[in-house]
Amino acid sequence: MTPTVRTRIAPSPTGAPHVGTAYMALFNLAFARKHGGQMVLRIEDTDRQRSSPQSEQAILDALQWLGIEWDEGPDCGGNHGPYRQSERLEFHQAEVNRLVNQGDAYLCFCTTERLEQVRKEQMANKETPRYDGHCLNLSTEEIEKKKEQGDPYVVRMKVPTEGECVFTDELRGEVRIDWKQIDHQVIQKSDGYPTYHLANVVDDHRMEISHVIRGEEWISSTPKHVLLYQQLGWDAPSFAHLPLLRNPDKSKLSKRKNPTGIFYYRDAGFLPEAMLNYLGMMGYTLPDQREIFSLDELSESFEIKRMSLGGPIFDLAKLKWLNGRYLREKLDSDEVVNRLVDWKANKEKFAQVLELALPRLETFSDFFPLAHHMFEECPIYSTEDLIGKQEAQFVTRLLKIAEWELEKIKDWKRDALAELFQHMAKVEEMKLKDLLRPFFFAISGSAVSLPLFDSVALLGPDLSRVRLRNALHKLSETGASLSKKGLKSLEKEYRSAYGNRID
């Protein structure tokens, strides 16, 4: 009798739900289903600064939209809860204490400033930046004294000084990494929350996860996890590291270069099953090479060894082709109508848009021409219109700044957007009207249009971002793009006028 297969997907609720999360979830699910096991959804919200309940809800909604189902999770419970790491602190802290008592971990009182300094020096000497062991041998008295003084501290894991860590990756075979490469990783932060590495190991163990299927980005830190399992006296699960989805330039898929938000695809009018199918063919082919398959079909025949290891480039063109086939071959016309209505051709959506359009209507015929940009992926307009009477370079600058400023918006609402553009007009010493002109084209494709802030608010961050990027792309074709140098100086200028960028 083989032990139950249990996989997990462990997203961090920071920002918009990412297609990478769905990608990993898909294969975790397929693997669990294939082996008659379960998949757990665990929310990794140990970063108190960046985690938010809204983001958590968005992740659940996004995965559900795609048709990804989990057997245990924060919404549906299960026998291994709670499923939010922030609610499992006692488990984490107990193990941290155990490690400290065992001598496998130690308290570190170094300040962020000191650590930065050390790191800087090491970089300058072309060494691998690592903790220098400053607090490794503090005496019990020193520790007690510092604690009494209320000095903040973290807990670090002790790592062997020689030898190498050998572990098996189910897809790549044996991986060997020198312990010398591994830093004395912080496992508990000064706020008492565990870091990923600790929480991950403790929770995977307690949740009886048998197979850790995750992104390739984790290979280099797997030794830390292997070591923690050893020190805690637990059997490690199997590891399989999947390739990372890539941008067309082969870098790790990022929202700067691609729509990475799951909701983008929903809002742009893709079918969830086509999306899931497409993700399934990234790095994987069914044994019979079928290109159109459902989640069930994938799960039935899934063999993780068939994963290819080169990072696949996310290709919108092929996704669109696939979506078209679903529309024509997988759904009957009645279903297509229903889906279209559910998408945006419904009363709620029309009501939202009509509120903006009504003052501008004489007849119903005016509605759709005025509101087309609310129902398309990206409007069409000429680059001349976009530039208008301004300098192309200057328009590029405005769009770029707006792109950065938009990243700072937490609550994507009309008022926040209005404030943003008003602030921008002030800083740029422009009339709001002049500032907004290119944005009207970028967002709605026309200067005769619905109110901009409301349109952007309704479109949401994903669709809006792509439209700005599309405008920038059009400008770059006129030669008005920023050189690397120009971009750098703009960034500098931006930082002094608007504050730091957020990614």
Give the footprint of RNA on residues 452-481 (CB under 7 A). none
Which region among 65-73, 309-317, 365-373, 378-386 touches RNA (by CB under 7 A)? 309-317
Give the shortest CB-76-to-RNA separation in angstroms: 20
What is the largest distance, in Å, between two alpha-carbon atoms of the chain?
A: 83
Q: Of the candidates 9, 40, 186, 466, which one interacts with RNA according to CB under 7 A?
A: 186
Is 190 among the residues that bind RNA (CB under 7 A)?
A: yes
Q: Are 498 and 427 in contact (CB under 8 A)?
A: yes
| AA identity, residue 484 | K
Site for RNA in 386-415 (CB under 7 A): none
Dihedrals phi, psi of 168, to nearest 5 degrees: -105, 125
Consecutive H or E run containing 173: strand 173-178
- Under the binding rule (CB under 7 A), the answer on residue 54 touching RNA is no
Residues in region 224-243 near RNA by CB under 7 A: 243
Cis peptide preceding 243, ω within 30 of 0: no
Is residue 325 involved in binding RNA (CB under 7 A)? yes
Which among 105-113, 259-267, 406-414, 481-489 is the span making contact with RNA, rule CB under 7 A?
105-113
Kindly tell me the sign of the dihedral angle through the C-alpha atoms of 292, 294, 297, 298: positive
Between residues 133 and 152, which has the closer beta carbon with respect to RNA?
152
Q: Are 396 and 489 in contact (CB under 8 A)?
A: no
Stretch that binds RNA, among 68-76, 136-144, 264-272, 305-313 (CB under 7 A): 305-313
**Per rule CB under 7 A, is residue 442 in the interface with RNA?**
no
How far is 253 from 256, CA to CA, in rounded Å? 9
Contact region with RNA (CB under 7 A), list: 28-36, 90-98, 307-315, 344-352: 307-315
- Work out whether 129 is an interface residue with RNA (CB under 7 A): yes
CA–CA separation, 68 and 54 (whole Å): 19
Residue 485 Cβ, how far from RNA at the closest point, in Å? Answer: 20
Residue 238: partners with Cβ closer than 8 Å, 6 or more residues away: 168, 170, 210, 211, 212
Helices (H), 165-311: 196-206, 222-232, 262-267, 272-280, 295-301
Tokens of residue 427, six digits: 């800083």
Known catalytic membership, residue 255: yes
Lookup result for tokens 């002790």? 158
Residue (299 or 444) nearer to RNA, CB: 299
Q: Which residues pair with 177 in a beta bridge?
A: 165
Please list every residue from 413 through 432 that binds RNA, using CB under 7 A: none
Interface with RNA, residue 183, by CB under 7 A: yes
**CB 282, CB 245: distance < 8 Å:** yes
Q: Which of residues 362-391 bind RNA (CB under 7 A)?
A: none
Q: Nearest distance from residue 85's CB to RNA, in Å?
A: 7
318 is an interface residue for RNA by CB under 7 A? yes
Decide if residue 130 touches RNA (CB under 7 A): yes
Dist. CA 98–CA 91, nearest whole Å: 11
Q: Of 158, 224, 255, 400, which one is the catalytic site residue? A: 255
Which residues carry out catalysis?
255
